[in-house]
Amino acid sequence: NAGVTQTPKFQVLKTGQSMTLQCAQDMNHEYMSWYRQDPGMGLRLIHYSVGAGITDQGEVPNGYNVSRSTTEDFPLRLLSAAPSQTSVYFCASSYRAGEETQYFGPGTRLLVL
């Protein structure tokens, strides 16, 4: 199993550009989530999904959209990038919500100029 994969590893955007961060898992996990981690800071939940077709907001959802059309994929879209979105983005998944270990992807470093 590849586990949780994320692409790209690093991206530079200009203010106002849009892009999609990809996340995929091959463990048949129902629960998937996106976090952002600013330098020296903790993990803040952006959006999450408890299964295909179901998504919900976390702590910091503004400026981001998600969709979950398949169990395997959970892309994160930045609609109009801002410098405040410069961060490391982690995707994570677990078998179910609430009572299971989350497995993290390697992260995507995003720089918005």
Partner 1 sequence: GENVEQHPSTLSVQEGDSAVIKCTYSDSASNYFPWYKQELGKRPQLIIDIRSNVGEKKDQRIAVTLNKTAKHFSLHITETQPEDSAVYFCADPFNKFYFGSGTKLNVKP
Site for partner 1 (CB under 8 A): which residue of 49, 78, 105, 108? 105
Task: Examine residue 102 and tell whether it contacts partner 1 (CB under 8 A).
Answer: yes
- The end-to-end CA distance of the chain, in Å, is 36
Within positions 41 to 100, which residues make up the interface with partner 1, using CB under 8 A? Answer: 41-45, 48, 56, 58-59, 90, 92, 94, 97-100
Residue 83, number of CB atoms within 10 A of its CB? 10
d(CA 56, CA 27): 21
Give residues in contact with partner 1 (CB under 8 A): 31, 33, 35, 41-45, 48, 56, 58-59, 90, 92, 94, 97-102, 104-107
